[in-house]
Amino acid sequence: LLVQANEDLKAARVDAAIEKLKRALAINELAFDAHTMLGSAWQQKKEWEKAIGEYDAAFAAFDAAS
């Protein structure tokens, strides 16, 4: 899912990427890469609060893995 979402982001298919990243996070809510990619997707949509929330979740996931 992450590879496909990354391809979607590169091709400016942001909504498709968001759906894939949400599915990935439903499988593993501590997936650092999925949170950072989702933050980037929200940034592209100018959804700043959602982007910040995902970056915060990425840091929390990183801390949990340490």
Tokens 């700043």 locate to 48
65 — pLDDT class (breaks 50, 70, 90):
confident
pTM of the predicted structure, to 2 decimals? 0.94
Whether the pLDDT of residue 66 is over 80: the answer is no
What's the chain's average pLDDT? 96
Amino acid at 48: W
* Residue 9 CB partners (closer than 8 Å, separation 6+): 17, 37, 40, 41, 44
pLDDT tens, residue by residue, 13-36: 999 999 999 999 999 999 999 999
